[in-house]
Amino acid sequence: MTKVLIATIYVFEPIIASSTKVGADRLILLIDKEPDEKQQKSLDIIKQSLGTVLEIKTVATDIYDIVDVAKETVKIIDLLSDKDEIYVDITAGRKTKALGLLFGAYARINRIKRIMYVKEEDKSIVSLPRLSYSLSPGQHKIVNYLVNHEVTSMSRFATKIELSQAMLYKHIRELKEMDILEETKEGLKVTDYGRIVVL
């Protein structure tokens, strides 16, 4: 069993603390597509400090696109072995990147052992709740379809996803209340949250 830590990075201290705390064998760092000098220096320090004792990989992501960061997180988790023990550290890096990592972890919560935040004052670890998205199979079908298709007719939409029109309208109302769907001038659209929920 390999212990894998997935973390955002800007400063190096929390990553060294969390990787030491969990006894990580592999470290996957979400860096900016164009790291600034401070992030690059932190990455260099981590490689010098931990590179001889654990495998370090970087994945470049957008800074502000939470859905993109969540997608990359899901890709990383899906590529790891089912035998790996996966930890997530959202301490360092931009808040938007940390949220993307967190939401991606929630999309694969059954694979995550622990989600952590390292306190700046004493480097102790705060465990965050392991939440999951809860959609019914019908709701999931609706969101998945809308991510890739435009709806011009509700009756055709219901037929395509094999739901009655009554059930379709019920699910759409619930999905709107959950902020997963929204009504726009162009019609029914999936929100960023909705795109994350079906990753």
Contact 161, 141 (CB under 8 A): yes
**Each residue's pLDDT tens digit, 153-181:** 899 999 999 999 999 999 999 999 999 99
Mean pLDDT of 6-21: 95
Residue showing tokens 């760092």: 29
Q: What is the mean pLDDT of the chain?
A: 94
Portion of the chain with pLDDT greater than 90, in percent: 89
pLDDT of residue 194: 94
pLDDT of residue 186: 86
Query: And the tokens for 156?
Result: 């055709």
Residue 117's SS3 state is: strand
Residue 190's SS3 state is: strand
Q: Is the pLDDT of residue 68 over 90?
A: yes
Q: Is the pLDDT of residue 132 over 90?
A: no
Residues in Cβ contact with 197 at an 8 Å cutoff, skipping those fewer than 6 apart = 107, 133, 135, 143, 180
Contact 190, 180 (CB under 8 A): yes
Model confidence band, residue 134 (pLDDT cutoffs 50, 70, 90): confident
Q: Is the pLDDT of residue 62 over 90?
A: yes
Domains and CATH numbers, the chain: 3-128 (3.40.50.11700), 137-197 (1.10.10.10)
Q: Is the pLDDT of residue 93 over 90?
A: no
- Alpha-carbon 160 to chain mean position: 29
**Each residue's pLDDT tens digit, 94-104:** 999 999 999 99
Q: Is the pLDDT of residue 187 over 90?
A: no
CA separation, residue 34 to residues 31, 80, 108 (Å) = 8, 25, 27
Largest Cα separation within the chain, whole Å, is 60
